[in-house]
A and B are shown apart, each in its own frame.
Chain A
Amino acid sequence: MNQLTKDQFVSVLEAAGINTAQREKLHEAFERLQPEGHQQFLAWLGLPAETIAKIRTLSRR
């Protein structure tokens, strides 16, 4: 299932014109609306648990 790395995913977003600020908003919305989905998605990208926890904490601010 995990054929896509985080860097590849970000490069897809960037090529589609989605900038850093929008990506941050995406994390915030993800955490607010679908916290479990957020966790699962970050795990799908193959991020280590520590990084996932950090991203999720930052998204809640």
Chain B
Amino acid sequence: MITIRQLANQFGLSRSTLLYYDRIGLLRPDYRTAAGYRLYAASDRHRLEQICRFRSAGLALARIEQLLERPQPSQSALTAALHGRLSALNREIAALRRQQQVVVDLLKKTGSTRRTRLMDKPRWVALLRAAGMDDAEMRRWHVEFERQSPEAHQDFLESLGLPAAEIGQIRRGEDRPPHRVRRRPSN
């Protein structure tokens, strides 16, 4: 059994965080002394480990509690929670990109611009062709990108300013044959 202070120190958390977790029922100490001191058992420590792991993935406390309700979080519930979080992160990234665009536009108005998003899809495709890459190789590249680093793949495609639907198609390997791009009117 260890005290709240000891447990907090072990996890680099503040005492008040653990008090809060107790208040909302997320992490109740195994034992309270007659004087009201909280004492935590090894099982509490294990639970806190899981809580911290899910927190560092950005899951909400309420969601974590749901996951820990069951004796053993089911694989599908866990997968669903993580997928939900991934989507939320993607939305946040997209929102940040929109902000980035607004900032860039504002800077353009002030005439002191450093250009961002220099590369778009037509430019990449032209570049890869100039380097001798054919459609089959570009396809394989996306397949491998998706297999090895799916999030970075998403991020890369977003950085080219592609619409979400097209990104989804490319990531699922369903994009229209192959790298047909319409030049945007101006750039």
Using a CB–CB cutoff of 8 Å, the interface residues on chain A facing chain B are: 1, 3-4, 8, 11-13, 15-18, 22, 25-26, 28-30, 32-34, 36-37, 40-41, 44
Contact = CB atoms under 8 A, between A and B. Distances in A.
Interface in B104-143: 115-116, 118-119, 123, 126-128, 130-133, 137, 140-141, 143
Contacts of B140: 15-17
A contact patch SS: helix
A4 to B, nearest CB: 4
A39 B155 CA distance: 18
B149 A25 contact: no
Contact of A15 (B126, B127, B131, B148): B148
Given A34-B119, A40-B118, A18 B149 contact: no
Contacts of B137: 16-18
Interface of B: 115-116, 118-119, 123, 126-128, 130-133, 137, 140-141, 143-145, 147-149, 151-152, 155-156, 159
Nearest to B93: A1
Contacts of B143: 16
Contacts of A13: 141, 144
Nearest to B148: A12
B10 to A, nearest CB: 30
